[in-house]
Amino acid sequence: MEIAVKYQGHNAILRISQDILGEDRIRLNERIQTLVDNGAKNIVLNLKDAGLMDSVGLGMLVALQTLLGRRQIRLVLSDVGRTIEHLLLITKLTRVFERFDTEDEALADLK
């Protein structure tokens, strides 16, 4: 898994490429925690180039959503591909995660 980070104001945008499997969750979790500790008010997870996500990665996202929500920080998903969207649908997590078709739509909603 590769993570590219950019900022737009207080919003941190993480562009994920490749699969999110197993131990990748630790790197992603640490990266998000560092961004929040450095002042990010919202997190956009752009999954356009992400491949697969296993149950461990999905569990990490749910835990992050809960943790960040308690800190009044929004975690939103953008550019979710079919494979991960299907995973969210079958696990009924579409109710948990805010999803946007594009990164620009996610950022507009965060203003």
Q: Cβ distance 78 to 102 under 8 Å?
A: yes
Q: How confident is the model at residue 21 (pLDDT cuts 50, 70, 90)?
A: confident
**Three-state SS string across 32-59, please?**
HHHHHHCCCCEEEEEEEEEEEECHHHHH
The C-alpha atoms of residue 106 and residue 103 are separated, in whole angstroms, by 5
- For the domain that residue 82 is a member of, what is the CATH number? 3.30.750.24
Count up the domains in the chain and report the number: 1
Residues facing 67 on adjacent strands: none
- 72 CB-side CA count, 13 A: 1
- Domain of residue 71: give its range: 2-110
Tens digits of per-residue pLDDT, 33-70?
A: 999 999 999 999 999 999 889 888 889 899 999 999 99
pTM value is 0.92
